[in-house]
Amino acid sequence: MDTYLKVLQKEMRPAMGCTEPAASALAGAKAAQLLDGRPTSLEVVTSRDMVKNAMGVGLPNCSLKGIQAAVALGASGGDVEKGLSILSELSDEQIQHASSMPVSLAIDSEVPSLYIKVVAKNEGGTSVAVISGEHDRFSYLEQHGQVLLSLAVDACGSSLQEEDEQFMGGSSLSDLLAWVQQAPQEALTLVLDAKNTNMAIAQHALEHSYGLSVGRIAAEPIGKKPSSLSEAFSLASAMAAAASDARMAGCPLPVIINSGSGNQGITLTVPLAVVGSYLACSEEKLARALLLSQLVGLALTAKKNRLSALCGAFTAAIGTACGLVYLLDGTLVEMDRAFNTMVGNLTGIICDGAKMTCALKIYSCVEAANLACKLAFRGMSPGNESGIVGKTSKESMDFLSRISHEGMEETDKTILSIMLGKQA
């Protein structure tokens, strides 16, 4: 099996609700599993980004919010085998027990951005479970003082993770497109299944009110069947936002994620499904466009932290723009233009946690992808004299990496300081 396919299969997985709370619940469930009997108290040590991304998001099947509530739900009866869908079913007894569970929280500035440690205690002893590097990757397990598992916290002990960071991070848009054009049926089936799953929550959200109802309201003037390509573009933005409206409000429908993020998975699939349907393109052509968008999203994630101050909807929408160009029979030239237009337009959109306004950002980012696509076919894009835009998409990708790692570290600290200050 080739590397691109392995990475896609690893990264494109179902998740119920926001992935940071799901990972938190999973860590809580694992720590509780290692105890004899239910824990009577929990201690959570995590990164500022995990706290930020779990603070304002709704949890599926209950009214609770926040990282401590997610950990408590997992520890109160969560099934570890369900992975990131651990919150797909919650009993009344589980919710009640979690609501009264003492959970302390500490933020560690020295750990990676994707890190959560849960210490569970009861009269019988103590257990520890750590998830880091990836949302469902246990890097440390301890039971009553005995170490059961100890891996590198940043996930670099995994050969596949090395492929993610080095192989994907080193891939150019040309490399990705070349693979997509000859990708096997197994890969096509994978992305078509993801499209179906993510469209289901988008369509559901058009019929029900969630959060700010960004997508539902934006879609009202168009209806369910666009009559022009321009309307198809607009409906694509609206339906992607609708899916996020529902997901951020705790809608109990799954999403296929990309780079550990359901919102990125939505952004990379739903717009292409809507435009592809309007164009009546073949299933194979849509699948290859979806593959390209997914891979561009993963390549950009490999160049930055999975959780950072740079909004993931923005980097995902760069993949969306490339996929839209593919659907409209564009070449690598147009894709390169669209990529650079996105970098010149929206770089700097911050991530201030997972919450209802994610739908607003997804709508804006997909609208920008639509515009980048239109400009590309007119031969228009910013040149490298424009700010952080490179001569090519590869150079722009490297500049984005520097912005994420070097430029936004202090921004991330400031964002969390503001968010925590509002709770004081």
Phi (first) and psi of residue 107, to 5 degrees: -105, 130
Lowest mean pLDDT among 52-56, 59-63, 73-77, 411-415: 52-56
Cα atoms in the Cβ-side hemisphere of radius 13 Å centred on 304: 30
Distance in angstroms (rounded) separating the CA atoms of residues 104 and 46? 11
pLDDT of residue 89: 87
The H or E element spanning position 42 is strand 41-46
* Tens digit of each residue's pLDDT (9 = 90 or more) over 89-108: 899 999 999 999 999 999 99
* Tens digit of each residue's pLDDT (9 = 90 or more) over 324-383: 999 999 999 999 999 999 999 999 898 888 789 999 999 999 999 999 999 999 999 999
What predicted TM-score, i.e. pTM, was given to this entire model? 0.86
25 pLDDT above the threshold of 80: yes
**Strand positions, DSSP E, 241-380:** 254-256
* Tens digit of each residue's pLDDT (9 = 90 or more) over 261-303: 999 999 999 999 999 999 999 999 999 999 999 999 999 988 8
- Residues 155-169, mean pLDDT to the nearest whole number: 56
Q: Which residue has the tokens 């899916």?
A: 243
Distance in angstroms (rounded) separating the CA atoms of residues 408 and 45? 23
Name the CA dihedral angle for 303, 305, 307, 311, rounded to a multiple of 10 degrees. Answer: -40
Phi (first) and psi of residue 257, to 5 degrees: -90, 165
Assess contact for 86 and 99: CB atoms under 8 A.
no
